Amino acid sequence: MSWKSGGKLSSMPRFRIGQIVTSRAGRDAGRTFVVVGADGDAVVVADGDLRKVENAKRKNAKHLVAHDWVEPGLESRIMSGEKVTNAEIRRVVEAWRSRTAGGGR
């Protein structure tokens, strides 16, 4: 992969590793993701289901809606370079969906 999981998001201060985001454009519009990295001016996201961690999606930051929830355990693990599983990403996404009463696909 060309992205770094511990990449800095300094050019995009509103996104953090481990943060829940929703796509607002493209085929995945309305889908909920977790930020797993950065690649230049783009954000790298995965949902652990259709978009696995191993094949994370590089999205333009303009095409994402940032939510105020960052999964702290996930954030620290990704930043330290530990492997994060698709099941963990799915659990975070499902927890967000249940918290928001069914929001996102």
* CATH code of the domain in which 23 resides: 2.30.30
Could you tell me the residue range of the domain that residue 89 belongs to? 19-99
Looking at the domain assignment, is residue 5 inside a domain? Answer: no
pLDDT at 12: 45
Instruction: Please tell me the pTM assigned to this model.
Output: 0.81
Structural tokens at position 96: 């967000």
Q: Is residue 104 part of a domain?
A: no
- Specify if 67 maps to a domain: yes
Domain assignment present for 41: yes
Edge-first strand order for the sheet with 64-70 is: 57-60, 42-46, 32-39, 19-23, 64-70
Count of structural domains, the chain: 1
pLDDT tens per residue, range 52-104: 999 999 999 999 999 988 988 898 998 898 999 999 999 999 999 888 865 55
Identify whether 87 is part of a domain: yes
Note whether residue 33 is domain-resident.
yes
pLDDT tens by residue, 20-55: 999 998 899 999 999 999 888 899 999 999 999 999
